[in-house]
Amino acid sequence: MACLNYSKQASNITEGVSDANNTTAQPGDVIRYTLSVKNTANTRVSKFVVQENMSDVLDYADITDFGGGSIDNNNIVSWPATNIPSGQTITKQITVKVKNPIPQTAASPSNPGDYDLTMTNVYGNTVNIKL
């Protein structure tokens, strides 16, 4: 929807880093992703469902808190439908813990983004956390 602005931020709770984008996480670090959706329209957006693909993150981390969401077989986390009033922003959070030890699986030639020692996550903007 053109009237919605999507954005994401990641914080490394373990290391005390409020903006973890383009930083390096260590085994066992706890990362909290915050997804934001702002309604810039003059009217309410009804029954909006926030969905987030966590596939690349799950190569190297386990979700420890879904923040009220649930995950499907395609690694998509979804939250219950909500209304977004005009001019308002809603946020959802997902907390993950980096695996210890970090998997050393080789990158696949057919999908070089998998197991590339970077947790890439896109929700409006891109967040990359190196391992």
Each residue's pLDDT, cut to its tens digit, for the chain (131 residues) gives: 569 999 999 999 999 999 999 999 999 999 999 999 999 999 999 999 999 999 999 999 999 999 999 999 999 999 999 999 999 999 999 999 999 999 888 777 777 667 889 999 999 999 999 99
Q: Read off the amino acid at residue 1.
A: M
H helix count then E strand count, the chain: 0, 12
- Count Cβ atoms below 10 Å from residue 129 Cβ, excluding itself: 25
Neighbours of 103 (CB within 10 A): 11
Q: pTM of the entire structure? A: 0.92
Q: How far apart are CA 20 and CA 16, in angstroms?
A: 9
> Six-digit token pair at 96?
């993950």
- Quick one: pLDDT at residue 80? 98
Longest CA–CA span in the chain (Å) reads 49
pLDDT number for residue 112:
64
The pLDDT value recorded for residue 115 is 82
- Going by the DSSP 8-state scheme, the letter that residue 103 receives in this structure is P
pLDDT at position 104, please?
A: 85
